[in-house]
Amino acid sequence: MTNQAQHQRRGLFLILPGQCFPMRFVKPWRHWDFLLSEWAPNLLDDQHHQLKLVMMIQSLRSYAKELRTAGAKVIYHSLNNECSGDFPGQLERAVLEGSFSELAYFEIEDGFCVNAIADLAKSLGLNCNVVPSPMFLCSREVFADYLKNEPRPRMASFYKMQRKDLNLLLTSDGKPLGGKWSLDAENRKPLPKTLIPPAPGFPQPGKNTREVMALVKSRFAAAPGDADLFCYPATRYQAERWLTRFIDERLASFGDYEDALTTRSDTVYHSLISPLLNLGLLTPADVIRRVMRAHHRSPVPLNSLEGFVRQVIGWREFIRGVYHHFGVEQSSANFFGHRSELTDHWYDGSTGITPLDHVIRKTQRWGWAHHIERLMVVA
């Protein structure tokens, strides 16, 4: 059966929180029913920061609206409706009512959630179609092939492969622009005392978002963070405007101060797009395309351009591959044989180590810290 014929058959397409990809990625299944649920295991079966919960729920609700506007039939289960039952029951009911034998969903990144969905589908006798995720540029198959040649994976070799495969920042003879694959040594300037980075331009929560904030604050009261502080993009329109503002106002200086640590700015010149990529509101392909288009229109310093590209197509994709191939081993390993639990100081930011306490308190408040704070301070 051809892919076109398969798509024209009616089935159920499951969209999990965090899979709010642009409409072009679900267009082949436009004749199917779409199931979206705030009761999904990757939202409820893990402890998230309240601000992350607001983003996950509001982006899913906004995505349901996108689907309906595009003419799709949407089955939506809100946490506001306690009568909608649990997620397994919701999936079973949708399958039985639609007499579906086919279930499609995008690749799932969370290991525990993959197993939960697969077990549910098997128990319902469904034929599963796992759709490649646009959340990453390097497919799982390509990363597996990379490991055949690099059994001890290194980000440098993976990043070089990515640059070549994507034809990014290369000379006409395939060499790296600037003569080096990584300009990391040019990303280490301290933030001058007189320099104040521009504010990212946080969007004001609208009525729908405020309703989600209230829901999270009451239902997830024990979760870290405070939903009342929510100020992040949570719709595709907001995400695209957010990226535009980063490109226009902060990208040029990103490279110089990428590694800067300061208490004078929470965001410095960082993009803060990792949550938007992880929700599907932006895709890495679109981000890179827009950044390169902006650079060709108005060139930015190479250390900023390469430094940003390295984070998106290098580190982010590399760690995803490592997670899928080595995650189980890494999560259970204990190389140093440590046995002690982390003390409360690690959660309330009272260790007495000033840079560490600053990042912990910042993360408790905003649910976010930039990659140098995560890597060079906390880790």
Helices 284-297 and 236-249: angle between axes, nearest 10 degrees: 40
Task: Check if the beta carbon of residue 112 is closer than 8 Å to that of residue 41.
Answer: yes
The model's pTM is: 0.94
* Residues 288, 169 within the same domain: yes
CATH number at residue 263: 1.25.40.80
Local structure of 376: helix, strand or coil: helix
DSSP character string of 59-70 = HHHHHHHHHHHT
Helices 140-149 and 316-332: angle between axes, nearest 10 degrees: 70
* Residues 94, 121 within the same domain: yes
Output phi, psi for 326, to 5 deg.
Answer: -130, 5
Boundary residue ending a domain (81, 97, 131)? 131
Question: Tell me: the pLDDT tens digits for 249-303?
Answer: 999 999 999 999 999 999 999 999 999 999 999 999 999 999 999 999 999 999 9
DSSP character string of 90-141 = HHHHHHHHHT--EEEEE----HHHHHHHHHHHHHTTPEEEEEPPTT-SS-HH
**What is the identity of the amino acid at 119?**
D
Examine the pLDDT at 83 and tell me if it is beyond 60. yes
DSSP state of 58: H
The residues facing 130 across adjacent strands are: 105
Boundary residue ending a domain (131, 161, 182)? 131
Task: Identify whether 370 is part of a domain.
Answer: yes
* Tokens (6 digits) for 171: 């000379």
Local structure of 195: helix, strand or coil: coil
* Residues 122, 152 within the same domain: no
| Mean pLDDT of the residues in the chain | 95
* Residues 156, 18 within the same domain: no
> Which residue range forms the structural domain that includes residue 163?
140-329+343-378
Indicate the burial class of 179 (C-beta count within 10 angstroms; 0-12, 13-18, 19 or more): exposed
| pLDDT score for 4 | 53
Share of the chain residues as helix, strand and coil, in percent rounded to the nearest 5: 55, 5, 40
DSSP character string of 143-156 = HHHHHHH-SS--HH
Task: Identify whether 190 is part of a domain.
Answer: yes
* Residues 171, 256 within the same domain: yes
Task: Identify whether 334 is part of a domain.
Answer: no
Task: Identify whether 337 is part of a domain.
Answer: no
CATH number at residue 86: 3.40.50.620
* Residues 93, 125 within the same domain: yes
* Residues 180, 299 within the same domain: yes
Residue with tokens 């590694």, as numbered in its chain: 259
* Tokens (6 digits) for 95: 């399958």
378 to 50, 83, 225, 233, 308: CA distances (angstroms): 21, 42, 18, 26, 22
Task: Identify whether 51 is part of a domain.
Answer: yes
Examine the pLDDT at 8 and tell me if it is beyond 60. no
Boundary residue ending a domain (69, 101, 131)? 131
Examine the pLDDT at 1 and tell me if it is beyond 50. no
Examine the pLDDT at 6 and tell me if it is beyond 80. no
Examine the pLDDT at 58 and tell me if it is beyond 90. yes
Number of domains in the chain: 2
| pLDDT score for 3 | 55
Question: Tell me: the pLDDT tens digits for 264-279?
Answer: 999 999 999 999 999 9
Residue with tokens 């079966």, as numbered in its chain: 45
Output phi, psi for 375, to 5 deg.
Answer: -80, -50
Examine the pLDDT at 189 and tell me if it is beyond 80. yes
Task: Check if the beta carbon of residue 172 is closer than 8 Å to that of residue 190.
Answer: no
| pLDDT score for 9 | 62
Examine the pLDDT at 373 and tell me if it is beyond 50. yes
* Residues 273, 149 within the same domain: yes
Determine the Cα–Cα distance for residues 259 and 270; give it in Å rounded to an integer.
10
* Residues 101, 203 within the same domain: no
pLDDT tier at 10 (50, 70, 90 boundaries)?
A: confident
